[in-house]
Structures are given as C-alpha cells and as structure tokens.
Amino acid sequence: MIFLMDLQMMLLDVIYFILRNSLRVILRPRTKPIDGELVLITGSGGGLGRLFALEFTKHGAEVVLWDINSNSNEQTAKLVHEMGGKAYTYAVDLTSREDVYRNAELMRKDLGRDVTILVNNAGVVAGKRILDCPDELIERTMKVNCHALFWDYCASKFAAVGFHESLAHELLSEEVEGVKTILVCPYIVDTGMFEGCKIREEVELLLPPLEPQYCVEQAMNAILVNQPLVCIPRLTYLPVLFRALLPWESNVTAYRFMGSDKCMYPFIETTKKQVTNGSVAVA
C-alpha cells in the first residue's frame, strides 16, 4: 500500500514538474538576488570566465578569480574594479590537487568566509586528433576539464560516456574504416565491488543486481553485432530517455522514489567495515 501511494505521488510530481517547466518556457521565472554573494570562478583570466566575473559583478556579487595566468587574471580584476566591484585574484594550477587545496585555505584566511557560488568554468582543448595528442596533453585536458571538478567514481564514469561519444563522432567524421566504438552501460554487477549498495526493495524486485556472466554475454553480443550502445538490462534505457525528455526535477523525483539517491550509503558503510577488517572487495 505504501509503495502504491509513493508511486502515485511520484507520478504526480513528475507531471507537475513537466507542467511547471513547460510554463517557464512562456513565463520567465523570477531571478534570485545574489548581491553580497562570494563567487569563485575558475579560468577567470579570459573568455567566458572574464565575462562571468563581469556579469556577477553587475548583480552585486564579489568575485574570487582563479587562473593559472596571473597577468590575464589581474586584467579581469581591473575590469571588475572599474565597475566598482570587488575582486580577489589567486594564481592556481587546477591540475594540482595540492595547489587547489592550498589556495582554497588561503582564500578562507584572506576573506574570512567561504565561497557561496562556484563556477567551474576552466577548460582546455587539445584541438588535435586523438592519435596526434601526446599523453601529457591528454592528461592535462582530463585534469583541468574533469578531475579539477571532482575526484569520485560516478563523475569519472560520466566523463567516460562523454569521451566515448566524442571519439565515436571523430571516427565518423574522419571516415575511419575498421574501427568501431561500443558503449556498455551495465547496471550494478554482482561482483562484490558494490557490496551493500541497495535501492528500494520493491524496485529491486524489478531491477536486481546483474549476474556477471549475463552482463558479459550481453556486452559480447553488442560487440559482435557492432551495437553502438547497450544498456544492461534493457530497463535501464528508460533513464537515458527520461533524462533527455523530462525536466530535471522530474528525473530527481523518480531517482528519489527508486532510492537511488541514497543507494550508496550502505555501500560506503560496508566499505568502511571492510577497510577496518583489512579487506576490500575488488571487481
């Protein structure tokens, strides 16, 4: 009964967010005030980063400017000051985790408060075909564009999906013969790697952890037929479709209904116990 009630509420929420976001297309939503906010902008020395700094200044926010190029960063700060705004500059190498941590702590001491808005704007582009890129350039690209934002599993896997998509398009545009790309997106595989990870019990009846052999067989079948994308099981194609078609809030509602938002909590506790006991599960 509780499951059916929750299912009904989830569907109502999904419909509500669809209608609300459709209405926003016609009626512009109210903007929130950001005057007095402390905004950290990475890659603020030029391009979009500089424009972000100026735009936030227009709205009364103070900006913290992080860029590896001190000269261009100071130029951005000068423009902010000419507008009557406040800007604080730091020369930061985002590819160095230690440098990020050190400057974050220095910033807290200098300003006496924490950042309230973070704009992860910094980015580098190779501008070369993948086979023409030296390892160092690829590593720097990933460190700035991806690793500088986070160091966790889900985000890195999402980056892998994006890498696959860009590589597939590059191969097609170059008309490369004999090279195929296949993206395999399995649900949780019961190898022990995600031991303890749990979604809602009622949903798990429809979506249990995958048997490793079944997962390999499905992936192998995709390889053999040159299927560009395979989600295992087929039910997991739905989130891909929903993410493209439904409003963000609708996806979040469904995500929470399934228990996916907290599924990693028991996994984390299990991992802590394994580390304490001197053993860690490996796939």
Q: Which residues are catalytic?
A: 153
Q: What are phi and psi of 265, to 5 degrees?
A: -60, -50
C-alpha closest to that of 73 among 92, 94, 100, 98: 92
CB 236 within 8 A of CB 185: yes
Helices (H), 211-247: 212-224, 237-245
C-alpha 122/C-alpha 145 separation (Å) is 7
Helix (H) and strand (E) counts in the chain: 11, 6
Pick from 251, 242, 252, 259: which is nearest to 204 by CA? 259
The dihedral region occupied by 192, where left means phi > 0, alpha psi between -120 and 50, and beta the remainder, is left
- 198 and 265 Cβ atoms separated by less than 8 Å: no
